[in-house]
Each structure stands twice: as structure tokens, then as C-alpha cells.
Copies of this chain bind each other. A is one copy, B any other.
């Protein structure tokens, strides 16, 4: 069996290697346009930022052997043709026309099965100045090596990163840590669009505290300079001087070859595949950033350009090619994570914004803040937001930000969503507890408790967003801060709130509104004491008590300190 794999980044080498493991006799060829193979492209920002300096680490096996054509040949008996472009596919003849770029030599290669792992390409808008020296993306090994030199040289004083998504923020951190001032420009009103607004604002606060300039709700109109970039002009007319621009406004599936060959392509431009990773031509499979996969919550098809998914899809495609459609790739739930200096920010499933946009209206949410370990073990804060379907209680999404161990909680929630688990299972999870690893009740479980309390109607919550909007509209709800006077002195909302420490609420009811139907909003640092206070007021006949969810820890707006 002759197999051709077009694309040599993540999914391609995985398909080829897995086919080899299952079939010792197949003739396997990888066609790769660039020089490099099997690049750990998610590592580029860390290479640029100086976490490590040897570019070989991006293309080597764990024992340090570069994954070059020799490696593929000697170890895997796979032919890897680099610097070779696939020009076209003839599906009838089952051939691929390829061109060796250095020599210009063209030839046709025949296949029994063809695999498209052509990846994605960065979106670069057609604005003036886009071709100036110093305007780049961070998409290829060459980009990474160039931007690393920029970071190391430290000649540059100002860099503008255009796009505040995952890669943009990782790139921003890399340069800021190299001592270069970074401005992030994002068209939306927040960075990290996979987060809800209030969660994203917490990340923005952290970025700003680290010295990064964040500009949201503004696009790029032009790039100015003579020869090399000198400044960026934004949609609102403002101009930011800089010596380097990095575009990271997203990627688009690289599906030109597939389209040309008449293969079905989805609405977002990705190659259409069935659950076996097979295209509309049964002899052609596809995997990775170039395809559209099923979102297991919305059931919509979407591109999902992530290195982990690419590898898994490649493994599925390989098995199906050799064994005949035995393995299914069900799809994704949409899990993403990002290190942001001392913060971690991540999301799995749907954000509230996305859920509402997709027509999920009957949902319940909860925001929860708490340390990730007992205080005596040095716990660090985590803010978690959960989202569930009201009728079934099924978990739809989870977001997390903070300096604590966020990736564990996110991973658990991702598994729970894929296991279609609901609130009643989450509230009693049997998790690995010991003080070095978590509080006695893990943050994810406590967040589920808050969600259940709201779901069952025991607790009425109000989000930071909603309260802020009401305050901005001139409303003056009765706000009850139940922390200690020292905590209050250090930092507070300072919008006319009343302070009564939790232990004194019961004996100070006379300081509350006489009319027990008046709305009272309680909170503390994380709103655990806030919730105790709300229960206490309810017990004393107050009928309209709400808890500010996540307390001051989850309040992303200005505070008086």
C-alpha cells in the first residue's frame, strides 16, 4: 500500500508513524513544503522568551535526535521529502503533483491512500505597511528564530502584538520577560476571547500589573515606516511607536489543495471529514488544523487548530487507513489554556457568552473564588466559573483564572464535560486529596456546590458584571461587606457599602434597611463569608438577599486600595 501524507508538522508525522506501527510494509511518503518536520510549534513563544535556547529542542525526540528525513528513514522507514510543495491532486489517477523547491523539479507520485495534514496559515490583513521589515507572525520555525533574535538583541524598545488571543498573549509574555515593552491591540472588548468578559478582565489586570499595555476595542488601520516598521496606526487614529509588530489574529485552515481537488469543505473553510477523519473522497483522509471537527456540545462543525487535537486526529486517521474505519474521533469540547506570567487562564466547553450565542438560554452559572490549597500549605487563588444546563444539570463549561493550579481543575472539568456529567455528580466527586495538592473540598467541587446552591434556589447570586452595570447606571443597591475592619481598610469597593464583619451581623441587624424586602448584596474577599451572611439575613426574614459571586477576588473593576 502506497500512502502519501501532505504536511509534516503535527498531524502528518503522527499519521505516518502510526501507519508504520500498524503496517510494516506500507510505502509511506511525507511531503513537506518547509525545511523542518515535526516542529513543536506550541513551544515557539517559550523559545522566543528564552525558556530554552536550542532550536533543536523544537524538532528533536526526547533523547535529542532531530526528526529530520534521516531520522524518519532510519527509525521509521518513512520517506520524508522536505522543501517539496504539493501542487495538485488528481483523484482519478490517484496521483499528487509535487515540486522540489530548491531544484524546481516536478513529478507525480501515486497513492493508494492520501492524507491531508496541510495545517493552517496565519490571518494577515491587507493593510498598508504589512510588508515592512519587522512585521511578522509567529507561525514557523523561521519566524521563531527571527523573533528570538529580536528578543535577545534587546535593541527593540517597543513591540506591538496585534491580537489578544492565546498565541498573542503567550507572545506578549515572551517579549515582556525579555525586557521589551509590549502593547497588545485587540479588536474585541477583551483579551482571550474563549473567556467571558469578567474573567478576561482579571487576566488584563494581571497583564497590566506586569507592565503590558492592553488596548481593547481597537483595530489596526495601518503600519507606518520607511523600510522598517516605525509605528502602528489604530482604527481610532492613535499611533503607537514601535520597532516590531507581531500579528496573531488567528489562523485559517489551509485547505486550498483540497478545494482545488474538489473535496468538500465546511462553512469555516476547513476540510470536511466524517468521524473516521475521512474526506468526501474515501481514499483521502485529513487531520489537524486544516479540517473541521464536531463540537460535542453545540454539534456544529468548526476548525480547532490545536496541537493536541491534531495528534489525536492523526492517530485515528492512521488506524482507519490501515484497519478500515475502526476508530472514531468524536470531536472536541473546546479546551484551551494559557500561561500569563504568574496567572493561568483556561476554558473548556462553552463560555456563557458562547452558550447564549449558540441558543442555550436555560442555563445556570456560578463564579467561585478560593485558594487552591490550605493556607498552611501556601494556597494560591483560583477563580472558577461554571456553566450548566438548568433542566438536566449537565455541565456545559468551565473557566478558570488565577495564580493557583488551574490546569488540574480545567482538566477535570474537561473530562467531566466529555463524560456528560452533571451537577449532582460534580458536587460529590471523589478526588485525590492531601494538603500539598488541594483544599479538603477541591475548588472544582466547591464551585459545583455554589452552582448547586443557585440551581436549587438556596442562593441568589449577582455577578460582578451585573453589579458593575447597575452601579454605572446610577443604582445604589445596599451593599454589605462582611470582612474584618483591617481587610476593609486595605482594599474595598468604596461605592457606599456598609461594613459589618460576619461575626457581628447577627447583633447589628439595626444597621440594615428596615424594610426586609429591600435588596441586600453581601460579599467578602471570596464571598464564602458573604454567603454565610446571606443565609443569616434570610434566617432573620430578609427576603431579597444576593451574594456577589466570587467576592472581591473576582471583581475585575477598579477597587480602592
A residues contacting B by CB (< 8 A) are: 10, 20-25, 40, 42-43, 46-47, 51-52, 57-58, 62-63, 65, 71, 74-77, 166, 170, 306-309, 311-312, 315-316, 327-339, 344, 346, 348, 371, 374-377, 405, 407-408, 410-412, 414-416, 418-421, 424-425, 427-438, 440-442, 445, 449, 458, 483-484, 487, 502-504, 506, 525, 528-529, 531-532, 535-536, 538-540
Known: A170-B434, A309-B430, A418-B430. 10 other contacts (CB 8 A): A47-B376, A57-B375, A62-B528, A77-B536, A166-B434, A335-B432, A339-B437, A411-B412, A411-B432, A416-B419
Residues of B within 8 A of A75 (CB): 502-503, 532
Can you list 8 A-B contacts with CB-CB less than 8 angstroms, sorted by A residue number? Answer: A20-B539, A62-B371, A62-B375, A316-B428, A339-B434, A415-B431, A418-B429, A418-B430
Contact A435-B42, Cβ < 8 Å, known A75-B503, A506-B74, A536-B24: yes
Contact A43-B376, Cβ < 8 Å, known A432-B348, A535-B21: yes
Residues of B within 8 A of A487 (CB): 63
CA distance A421 to B419 in the complex (A): 6
CA distance A334 to B538 in the complex (A): 38
Residues of B within 8 A of A57 (CB): 374-376
**CB-CB nearest in chain B for A424:** B328
Residues of B within 8 A of A332 (CB): 430
Residues of B within 8 A of A21 (CB): 458, 531-532, 535
CA distance A432 to B76 in the complex (A): 30
Q: Which of B339, B375, B424 contacts A436 (CB 8 A)?
A: B339
Establish whether residues B449 and A315, one from each chain, have CB atoms under 8 Å apart when the complex forms.
yes
CA distance A52 to B373 in the complex (A): 14
Residues of B within 8 A of A419 (CB): 415-416, 418-421, 425
Residues of B within 8 A of A374 (CB): 40, 43, 57
CA distance A40 to B377 in the complex (A): 12
Residues of B within 8 A of A42 (CB): 433-435, 440
Shortest CB distance A68–B (Å): 12
Shortest CB distance A452–B (Å): 9
Q: Which 6 A-B pairs have the closest CB atoms?
A: A24-B539, A419-B419, A337-B432, A308-B433, A408-B408, A21-B535
**CB-CB nearest in chain B for A539:** B24
CA distance A371 to B535 in the complex (A): 47
Most buried by B among A432, A435, A441, A506: A432
Q: Which of B40, B166, B307, B429 contacts A376 (CB 8 A)?
A: B40
CA distance A376 to B428 in the complex (A): 38
Residues of B within 8 A of A525 (CB): 63
Establish whether residues B312 and A441, one from each chain, have CB atoms under 8 Å apart when the complex forms.
yes
CA distance A458 to B18 in the complex (A): 11
Contact A46-B76, Cβ < 8 Å, known A411-B411, A429-B418, A432-B336: no
Contact A311-B416, Cβ < 8 Å, known A375-B57, A432-B411: no
